[in-house]
């Protein structure tokens, strides 16, 4: 069952009340030490490859799927760096509320050239650590890990 279908079915049962979502994010650096950041469509800030796990999906598989879907890159190896717990309740425009738990991985093996999917992701670029654009909250966490 896709994440979209799962969330739709879950929301039909619980409405907009707070729920927990679990997902994965990837910290990817190229040979020059630059970090891959994505700018989502209709967003100003840049962040990591990230996504919510599908029902029963292992967290590394979530990262593998999201990396391929969002950038076209193939994941070969990743190591778990941290499990990030929410520090606040999030709410989307329609009023649905959630807490997000995210497994942060360092991607140590990947192949391909990052190409944004053009739907969810507007831009995918590598940035030097001393020249990072405005970052999402998760992007800021990545900055902490890298410095």
Binned average pLDDT, 10 residues per bin, the chain of 147 residues? 88 94 96 95 94 95 97 97 91 94 96 94 95 91 83
Cβ atoms 96, 11 nearer than 8 A: yes
Angle 57-62-65 from CA coordinates, rounded to 5°: 120
Predicted pLDDT of residue 101:
96
**Cα(119)–Cα(64) distance, integer angstroms:** 18
User: From the CA atom positions of the chain, what is the Rg in Å?
Assistant: 15
pLDDT score for 87: 84
Q: What is the per-residue pLDDT for 86?
A: 86
55/94 Cα distance (integer angstroms): 23
What DSSP line would sit under 65-92, residue for residue?
A: HHHHHHH--EEEEEEEEEEEPPSS-EE-
For position 137, what pLDDT does the model report?
87
Indicate the domain borders of the chain: 3-146
Contact 6, 55 (CB under 8 A): yes
Say what the pLDDT of residue 144 is: 87
- 3-state DSSP call for residue 11? helix
pLDDT score at 138: 86
Partners of residue 20 on adjacent β-strands? 99
Residues 19, 52: contact at Cβ < 8 Å? no
Distant-in-sequence, close-in-space partners of 34: CB < 8 Å, separation ≥ 6: 126, 127, 128, 129
CATH class of 3-146: alpha beta
Give me 95's structure tokens: 């009023």
């Amino acid at each position: 069952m896709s994440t979209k279908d799962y969330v739709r079915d879950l929301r039909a049962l619980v409405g907009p009340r707070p729920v927990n979502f679990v997902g994965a994010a990837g910290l990817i650096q190229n040979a020059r030490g630059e970090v891959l950041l994505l700018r989502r469509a209709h967003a100003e800030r840049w962040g990591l490859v990230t996504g919510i796990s599908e029902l029963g999906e292992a967290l590394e598989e979530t990262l593998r799927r999201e990396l391929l879907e969002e950038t076209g890159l193939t994941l070969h190896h990743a190591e778990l760096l941290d499990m990030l717990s929410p520090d606040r309740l999030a709410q989307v425009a329609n009023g649905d509320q959630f807490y997000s738990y995210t497994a942060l991985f360092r991607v140590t093996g990947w192949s391909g050239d990052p190409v944004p999917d053009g739907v969810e992701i507007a831009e995918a670029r590598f940035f030097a650590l001393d020249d990072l654009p405005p970052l999402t909250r998760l992007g800021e966490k990545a900055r902490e890990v890298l410095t």
